[in-house]
Amino acid sequence: MRLFIAILLSEEMKKALVACMHDLKKKGVEGTYVPVQNLHLTLAFIGEYDHPARVKEVLERVPMPPLRLSLSDPGNFGSLLWAGVKGNQKLKTYVKDLRAALKAAEIPFSDDAFVPHITLVRKASCRKPYQLHLPKAEMTAKGAALMRSEQKEGKRVYREV
């Protein structure tokens, strides 16, 4: 099963991101928009791994402190558009500790540099220049969730394990 560890977003945060995505559509940005129920902040991408109980044990051993998150500047990785999440030291420290615990437990994960972001559009393209404006939105995250990614009827569905 395809797994990742993420912070699930508040309704307020989701509303702000949906408003941003509607604005992008109005500006002619095409691509695969992330469904509102799939919006999240990935802390560690594990990928194909058949032992979710081992990952849950790590999450219990490394509890996440309450974190204040707010949207910051937008960005992209190639044709993937994302909303930035204002980096704070508590978040960076937690991700470092979580990834160290995953490594110690010999759970494989993508060891890319942590860039706090929420994916909005994959394979984005636009015929004319546009500006991506993010509304102000904040939330307090109280914990991390182990998520499972599945393909259902041609669509990606994320569910908490």
The token duo for 48 is 């194909």
**What does the DSSP 8-state code read for residue 63?**
P
Residue 159, pLDDT > 90, answer: yes
If one compares 87 and 29, the residue with the highest pLDDT of the two is: 29
Strands 40-48 and 2-8: antiparallel
Tell me what pLDDT residue 14 has: 97
Q: Is 4 exposed, middle or buried (0-12, 13-18, 19+ CB in 10 A)?
A: buried
pLDDT digits (tens, 9 = 90+) for 55-105: 999 999 999 999 999 999 899 999 999 999 996 899 999 999 999 999 999
- The residue type at 44: A
Q: Indicate the pLDDT class of residue 5, thresholds 50, 70 and 90.
A: very high
Confidence category of residue 2, pLDDT binned at 50, 70, 90: very high
Integer Cα distance of 112 and 107 in angstroms: 15
Share of the chain above pLDDT 70, in %: 99
- Mark 85-98 as b/e (b = at least 16 C-beta within 10 Å): beeeeebeebbeeb
- Average pLDDT across the chain, whole number: 95
pLDDT of residue 18: 96
Question: How far, in Å, CA of 19 to CA of 24, rounded?
Answer: 9
Residue 119 confidence (pLDDT) above 90 = yes
Cβ neighbors of 106 (< 8 A, separation 6 or more) are none
pLDDT in tens, 137-148: 999 999 999 999
109: left (phi over 0), alpha (psi -120 to 50) or beta: beta
- Going from the C-alpha of 105 to that of each of 2, 89, 128, the distances in angstroms are 18, 24, 48
What is the rounded CA–CA span in Å between residue 2 and residue 151?
Answer: 10
pTM for this model (two decimals): 0.92
Ordered structural domains, the chain, with CATH? 2-160 (3.90.1140.10)
pLDDT cut 90: percent of the chain above it:
89
